[in-house]
Homo-oligomer: A and B are copies of this chain.
Amino acid sequence: MTPGISQLILSLKRLHRLSSVVDLLGWDEQVNLPEGSADFRSEQMAFMSELVHRESTSSEYLKTLMAAEDEIQSNRLSPEFRLVVEEARKEFNRETRLPSEFVARKSAAQSRSFHAWAVARRHNSFKDFAPYLKEQLELALEEASYQGYAREIAYDYWIDRFDPGMNRDIITPLFHSLVEELTPLVQKIMSSSIKPDLTIFKGFPIDQQDRFARHVVAKLGFDFHRGRLDRSLHPFCSGCGSDTRMTTRFFPDHPLDSLFSSIHETGHALYEQGLPTEFLGTALGSAAGMAVHESQSRLWENQIARSRAFWAYFEPIYREYFPNQLSEISSSQLFLAINAVEPIAIRVDSDEVTYNLHIVLRYEIETALFSGDLSIDQVPDRWNELMRKYLGFTPASDTEGCLQDVHWSTGSFGYFPSYTLGNMLAAQIWSTLSSEIHDIDAQMERGEFTQILQWLRSRIHAKGKQLSASSLAVDLTGSPLSHKPLVNYLTRRYSQTYQLIPASIHLT
């Protein structure tokens, strides 16, 4: 390695050590923090964010960055290392454009807002959360303006933050086509005579659910030696430096929700644990973006963990963990429950078909908030109106409506589209992966997931930021990101489950 790039990588690793302290403070805030310490933690995180900002915009660091850029000029860097330098420059410019005062102010506001959201959600009181949401939106607009994005395109700034290269021009038509094809599919499923019954799951003790979840996620490849599984109000996965920490939540009468939450987060965690550790903190050791991240979580959660092959292996084990609770539930009832499609209020508990409609709803609200077409006060009404339009009913409360997600409380606007982009990408990846590993079903039936993980590791995880969601789709499948593979996959799987088309058609 030439001296410039090797010095830059050292500096980036140093910064990563510091920024991952902020990640840990955030994880601890959601998993451990006693309620009375919320304000102090806000101040602590604000101060730390300010320090990260200061370190990553220091003149000393700039010198290191420029020395590496000289090595690009003199053609001494491989494409991989050039990417490291270019991404570091992008990040440096982005950070430099933000005043220190803003960074600290935003961080403190985020923390306060997160706690206000948690309380408002508990009390079903959107009006208590509204001023915080307003502040988060204003901060998001302010940040976009520092980055040179006028109000009309501020939302594109935020989409790009989570998915480099993405914007409304790409997303809007994709989402439009998707809705057009999903709506009739949902209607067909709804009119099928086959009806899953989720009320038959009762009294699954939480500690036992926890043990089974650990069994499953370890089997999928999660490395507990470099990671943890804990509990929090909203499941999430956080790369805390060199260890990956995911959370879930358990309800005695909703064991499948908890299980699939854990598997979803495991998909994220396997991606994090598969990033090249020697390049952590650089573009080569960072996730490509949230759509790619979500493609991994959704692929494990849906394509893999809702398949017949997966349950051929895990059903007997599941019955060993819960002999009494499952004794009255037949295999076909269980499998149908796992593949239940039903419009419900809560996104994270939704099936993989209607899930995307929840995302389109949020995407439309965010678009309207950023353009100024929608005011904060109108959010609950618009939410309920779109729920009726896409899912056919009104949520019982704001707690089950516009207060359900953590994202807005911490200013993570522009994140939601990643979920459905991730679903599209997952379907594209799955079609290639399952054609290249010809005995994939047989492997899953034997509880073997190593080859699948290896495939994802070498084709996706190992590449860091070398491929974006768009270029990854092209690289793996030869086609750009599209709604078609997702629609095909969902149509095939659910036509079979709900007997919408003759079973003689070959289904994968």
A residues within 8 Å of B by Cβ? 14, 17-18, 20-21, 24-25, 28, 32-37, 39-41, 43-44, 47-48, 51, 223-228, 240-243
CA distance A44 to B24 in the complex (A): 11
Q: Are A227 and B34 in contact (CB under 8 A)?
A: yes
Do A224 and B21 contact each other (CB < 8 Å), given the known contacts A14-B47, A28-B28, A40-B243?
A: no
Q: What chain B residues lie within 8 Å of A44 (beta carbons)?
A: 17-18, 20-21, 241
CB A56 to nearest CB in B, in angstroms, measures 13
The 8 closest A-B pairs by CB, nearest first: A40-B242, A37-B243, A36-B226, A36-B225, A34-B243, A37-B242, A17-B44, A17-B47
In the bound complex, how far is the Cα of B431 from the Cα of A303, in angstroms?
A: 70
Chain B residues closer than 8 Å to A242, beta-carbon distance: 36-37, 39-41
Chain A facing B: main interface SS? helix
Q: Which residue of B lies closest to A22 (CB)?
A: B21
Let me know if B40 and A17 touch, CB within 8 A: yes
Partner of A36, one of B18, B32, B223: B223
- A403 nearest CB across to chain B (Å): 24
Contact at A40–B241, with CB atoms within 8 Å? yes
Complex Cα distance, B10 from A47, in Å, reads: 13
- Complex interface: chain B residues within 8 A of A37 (CB): 226, 240-243
List residues of chain B with CB within 8 A of the CB of A39: 242
Residue of B nearest to A46 (CB): B17
B25 touches A21 (CB 8 A): yes
Chain B residues closer than 8 Å to A226, beta-carbon distance: 34, 36-37
The CA of A240 and the CA of B35, in the complex, are separated in Å by 14
- Asked if B48 and A243 sit within 8 Å, CB to CB, the answer is no
Query: Are the CB atoms of B224 and A34 closer together than 8 Å?
Result: yes
Q: In chain B, what residue has the closest Cβ to A15?
A: B47
CB proximity of A98 to chain B, nearest CB, Å? 20
Q: Which residues of B contact A227 (CB under 8 A)?
A: 34
| Closest Cβ–Cβ distance, residue A492 to chain B (whole Å) | 39
Contact B243 A36 (CB under 8 A): yes
